[in-house]
Structure 1
Amino acid sequence: MTVHVPEQPVGTLSDAWHFCVGTGEFPLALRRDYQESLAVIQREIGFRHIRGHGLLGDAVGVHRPYEWAGRRDVRHVFTYVDQIVDAYLELGIAPFVELGFMPSTLASGSQTVFWWQGNVTPPTSYAEWADLVRATIRHLIDRYGLDQVRTWPIEVWNEPNLKDFWLDADEAAYHQLYEVTATTIKEIDAGLQVGGPAISPGSDEWMVRFADFCAAKDVPVDFVSRHAYSSGPSQHVPFGVYQALAPAATLLDQFGKPREQLRGTPFEGLPVHITEFNSSYRPDNPIHDTAFHAAYLAPVIARGGEHADSYSYWTFSDMFEEAGVPATLFHGGFGLLTHRQIKKPTFHVYAFMQRLGSAILCQDDSCLVTRDESGRIAVLAWAPVDVNGTVEGVAGHHVRLSIPMTSTQPVDSAFLLRSSVSETMGNVRTAWGELGRPASPTARQLDILRETAEPVRRHARLPVVDGRVELDLWLDANEVTLAEISPVTDETPQWWDDGRLLGDPS
């Protein structure tokens, strides 16, 4: 069946998809590979904010107690913070500030999380914690300006509803931490944005009780945040896991949950930030590296803005060490890029989104049709996947569209540029397997992988009949494709004759 795309827009494409992206531990940003990877991300996609753990952890070294003249005091040191935030801003991306984890010099216990040992216990002194928050935010304002820092959301902690991330998942203790932190931030400037509770899936009532607590005590909340994942229990193998996946639509359900929960409360209408989302919550699940993953998440990335004000892909790069140093190049990391800037298929979903227009002409379960101000049409289409089937998918999905071609003057043809990734196109993990899965690829192998990671490009000239272009897209297994259609103004000289390229046949 052909879908007759209307000429007038039916909506505007939300920019929620590129509001924020996730990153590994904050100090990783000091490394060359990290900064080179982020430069690729910003050049081809362009996220506005970046969020990760560890800003206040020991590896950054902000909280520095000392003794002098028999008295204990604290110096707040921002040497690494400055280097990292400066580098972010130079690349056109700003922090989505996550306050955590606890400096060991302020922690009430020794419980840590991750290979890099982030402390997850409450502070020994809430007054000293407030001093740390105050000093950090004031330093950012002094260095980067109040107007800029007011645009940086400030999130209090990470997944306190999980015992791994907050001692005993103590809800009352988190509420106290949030109240002290939010109050301190608002004392600095009322225009700063502060929110939480950054909960993981599975404890939805935390959001309700958080809202009740803040309303009862008049604690400031400028946004609410939560995370979304769709994978089941881990099936462990050496250096990795496998997991079943729920349908991708469950992620959209999770995106929309806070708005549903806050309806009828004093916080109805607050911005909702999904500050982490992905399929698997594990940084060593090979599903992240596959073409299946791109097709699985395409409808979520394309339509998530209907459910939340932002949804932050976790993460932009495989430079991520929560489970230790990765043992091989393709190890199932969260990243859109591997180490050494090799693009995974899901990277291209975001790169395709960046090339869409702002006016939505049509959307359904397997495509999104947009138009930009120049009249260029961009169609993002994806092959549906079956989480109960095979990761290789089934070929043969068909998208047929009749598209209006608007122009300032009559045109009789249009140029089609089609870019695709699938099981057989731009599937770098397959190429890596064909190379023998080298754990440490040579320079030549890295070049091969970068080349095979690019989408396959095809082009054609299509007739415009009665102001419309008929577009037939046959999609391969797990294919995500971007079809860009532009009106053609033919400037071919009268003497141009391709039939004479080898001379006059007469």
Structure 2
Amino acid sequence: MRTVVPDRGQGRLSEAWRYCVGTGRFDLALRRDYQESLALVQREIGFRHIRGHGLLSDGAGVHRPYEHAGERRVRHVFTYVDQVVDAYLDLGIRPFLELGFMPSGLASGEQTVFWWHGNVTPPASHAEWAELVRATLRHLVGRYGLDEVRTWPIEVWNEPNLKEFWQDADEAAYHRLYEVTAHAVKEVDAGLLVGGPAISPGADEWLPRFADFVAARDVPCDFVSRHAYSSGPAQHVPFGVHQTLMPAEALLEQFATPRRQLAGGPLAGAPVHVTEFNSSYRPDNPVHDTAFHAAYLAPVLAGGGEVCDSFAYWTFCDVFEEIGVPASIFHGGFGLLTHRQIKKPTYHLYAFMARMGEEVLARGADHLVTRHGDGRVSVLAWAPADVTGGDPVTGHQVRLSVPVGPAGSAFLLRSSVSEEHGNAWAAWRELGRPASPAARELDVLREAAEPARSHRALPVRDGRVELDLRLGAHEVTLAELTPVLVDETPPWWDDRRLLGLGEENPA
């Protein structure tokens, strides 16, 4: 059955999918591999904001207590912060500030998380914490300007509903931290954007209580945030895990939950930012590296902007060390890129989205159709991703009647990733899974990571192109249709006279 795409637009395509992207801890941005990876991502995708942990952790070196004349004092040092933020802005991406974790010199306890020991205890002094927040934001405003910093959302902590990220998952203690922090932010400037509570899946009951708390205490809150993952419990193997997955619709449901929960309450209408999302919450699950993953997330990217204001992929690259230094170039990391800038299939899903038009023409269970201002039409289509473990679907058909306007023909450029194409993980496996590929192997993997591309001319009848896309296993394809309005072939030219294109050198 062919789907007739209407000529009339259905509204603008939301950019919620590119508003923000996740990153490893703050000070990793000082590394060459990190900055090269981010530069590539920004050239081909172009995210607007970037969010990660560790802005106030010891690795960034901001909070520096010392003694002088027998008195404890604190110096705030922004040497690394300036280098990182300067690099971000040079690459056209702005911070989405996450205030955390606790500097060891201000912490009330010794509980930490991750290989790099981020402290997750409340401050020993809320007054000193508030001054740390004020000092950091005053420095940023002074260096980058108030108008600029007002565009950087400021999120208070990370997943306080989990005891691993906030001591005892103490909700009342988080509310106190949020209250102190939000007031400190607004003391710097009332126009700065502050929000939370950055909860993880499985803690939906926190959000209505958070809304009631900020309303009852008259605490500023400019946006609400949460995270979304769709994997089951981890089944550990050495240097990796396996997990089941819920259908991709579960992610969209999580994206939509805050608006539904907050409707009619004190934070109804507040922007909703999903500041982390992925399939698995583990940085060592090989599903992240696969073609399956791109097909699985395609409907999420296509539809997520309908139910929330942003959803940030966790993370843009594998320069990421929560459970230690990765043991292999492909290790199931969260990133769109591996170390050394090898593109994963999900990278191409994002790159395809970046080439979609501004106007939505049609949506379906397996496609999204958009139009550019110059009349070009882009179609994103994807094969089903079966989370039950069955054999992948091959030969999935997407058949569309696409409006391109009056033209003699349309030029089709098709780019695809699948189990067979644009799948560097599969090539790495066939190479024998080299943990640290040599230079030539890196070149091979980068070449294998590129999408398959094809092109041809399609006839236009009554202003429409009949587009038939047959998709391979876990294929995600971008079909770009450009109307050919003028054919400038000279009247004396005959392609049939070229060897291999027609008759054999006719007289």
- With normalisation by structure 1, the TM-score equals 0.98
**Partner residue in 2 for 1:93:** 93
Inter-partner Cα distance in structure 2 for 1:490 and 1:86: 48
**Partner residue in 2 for 1:327:** 327
Inter-partner Cα distance in structure 1 for 2:35 and 2:285: 24
| 1:177 has 2:177 as partner | yes
**Partner residue in 2 for 1:481:** 477
**Partner residue in 2 for 1:20:** 20
| 1:215 has 2:215 as partner | yes
Inter-partner Cα distance in structure 1 for 2:373 and 2:238: 51
Inter-partner Cα distance in structure 1 for 2:358 and 2:495: 38
**Partner residue in 1 for 2:467:** 471
**Partner residue in 2 for 1:498:** 495
Give the CA deviation at 1:360: 0.6
- For the residue of structure 1 that corresponds to 2:336, the secondary structure is coil
**Partner residue in 2 for 1:126:** 126
**Partner residue in 2 for 1:300:** 300
Give the CA deviation at 1:505: 2.8
Letter in 2 for 1:225: S
**Partner residue in 1 for 2:254:** 254
Contact 2:317 2:335 in 1 (8 A): yes
Give the CA deviation at 1:389: 2.5
Give the CA deviation at 1:11: 2.0
Letter in 1 for 2:185: I
Inter-partner Cα distance in structure 2 for 1:260 and 1:241: 33
Unaligned 5+ runs, structure 1? none
Q: What is the CA deviation profile of residues 71-107 of structure 1, one whole-angstrom value per residue up to 9, with x for unaligned ones?
A: 1110000000000000000000000000000000000
- For the residue of structure 2 that corresponds to 1:12, the secondary structure is coil
Q: What is the CA deviation profile of residues 372-431 of structure 1, one whole-angstrom value per residue up to 9, with x for unaligned ones?
A: 1000000000001110024x612011000001112xxx4110000000000001011110
Q: What is the CA deviation profile of residues 339-359 of structure 1, one whole-angstrom value per residue up to 9, with x for unaligned ones?
A: 000000000110000000011
| 1:457 has 2:461 as partner | no
Inter-partner Cα distance in structure 2 for 1:375 and 1:482: 16
Inter-partner Cα distance in structure 1 for 2:324 and 2:308: 32
- For the residue of structure 2 that corresponds to 1:11, the secondary structure is coil
Give the CA deviation at 1:495: 1.8
1:118-157 alignment to 2 at 5 Å?
118-157=118-157
**Partner residue in 1 for 2:417:** 421
Contact 2:21 2:315 in 1 (8 A): yes
**Partner residue in 2 for 1:245:** 245
Give the CA deviation at 1:248: 0.4
**Partner residue in 1 for 2:9:** 9
Letter in 2 for 1:505: P
Q: What is the CA deviation profile of residues 89-136 of structure 1, one whole-angstrom value per residue up to 9, with x for unaligned ones?
A: 000000000000000000000000000000000000000000100000
Inter-partner Cα distance in structure 1 for 2:497 and 2:206: 74
| 1:401 has 2:400 as partner | yes
More deviation in 488-497 or 180-189?
488-497
**Partner residue in 1 for 2:263:** 263
Give the CA deviation at 1:70: 1.3
Letter in 2 for 1:286: P
Inter-partner Cα distance in structure 1 for 2:400 and 2:393: 21
**Partner residue in 1 for 2:159:** 159
Match of 2:431 among 435, 440, 443: 435
Q: What is the CA deviation profile of residues 32-83 of structure 1, one whole-angstrom value per residue up to 9, with x for unaligned ones?
A: 0000000000000000000000000001100001111111110000000000
Give the CA deviation at 1:151: 0.5
Letter in 1 for 2:421: M
Give the CA deviation at 1:250: 0.4
**Partner residue in 2 for 1:34:** 34
Q: What is the CA deviation profile of residues 316-370 of structure 1, one whole-angstrom value per residue up to 9, with x for unaligned ones?
A: 0001000100000100000000000000000011000000001111111000000
Inter-partner Cα distance in structure 2 for 1:361 and 1:35: 37
Inter-partner Cα distance in structure 1 for 2:186 and 2:291: 45
Letter in 1 for 2:4: H
- For the residue of structure 2 that corresponds to 1:183, the secondary structure is helix
CA RMSD, Structure 1 to Structure 2 (Å)? 0.8
**Partner residue in 1 for 2:340:** 340
Inter-partner Cα distance in structure 2 for 1:402 and 1:394: 23
Letter in 1 for 2:506: P
- For the residue of structure 1 that corresponds to 2:59, the secondary structure is coil
Contact 2:212 2:266 in 1 (8 A): no
Contact 2:337 2:344 in 1 (8 A): yes
Inter-partner Cα distance in structure 2 for 1:504 and 1:96: 64
Inter-partner Cα distance in structure 2 for 1:52 and 1:422: 30
Give the CA deviation at 1:501: 2.5
Contact 2:276 2:314 in 1 (8 A): yes
**Partner residue in 1 for 2:48:** 48
Unaligned 5+ runs, structure 2? none
Inter-partner Cα distance in structure 2 for 1:366 and 1:264: 34
Q: What is the CA deviation profile of residues 458-486 of structure 1, one whole-angstrom value per residue up to 9, with x for unaligned ones?
A: 10100001111000000111000000001
- With normalisation by structure 2, the TM-score equals 0.98
Give the CA deviation at 1:184: 0.7
Letter in 1 for 2:175: H
Identity of matched residues, %: 74
1:267-306 alignment to 2 at 5 Å?
267-306=267-306
Inter-partner Cα distance in structure 2 for 1:160 and 1:500: 72
Give the CA deviation at 1:500: 2.1
Give the CA deviation at 1:504: 4.3
Give the CA deviation at 1:499: 2.2
Q: What is the CA deviation profile of residues 207-236 of structure 1, one whole-angstrom value per residue up to 9, with x for unaligned ones?
A: 111111101101000000000000000000
Inter-partner Cα distance in structure 2 for 1:501 and 1:13: 44
Inter-partner Cα distance in structure 1 for 2:52 and 2:9: 37
Letter in 1 for 2:451: P
Q: What is the CA deviation profile of residues 277-315 of structure 1, one whole-angstrom value per residue up to 9, with x for unaligned ones?
A: 000000000000000000000000111000110000000
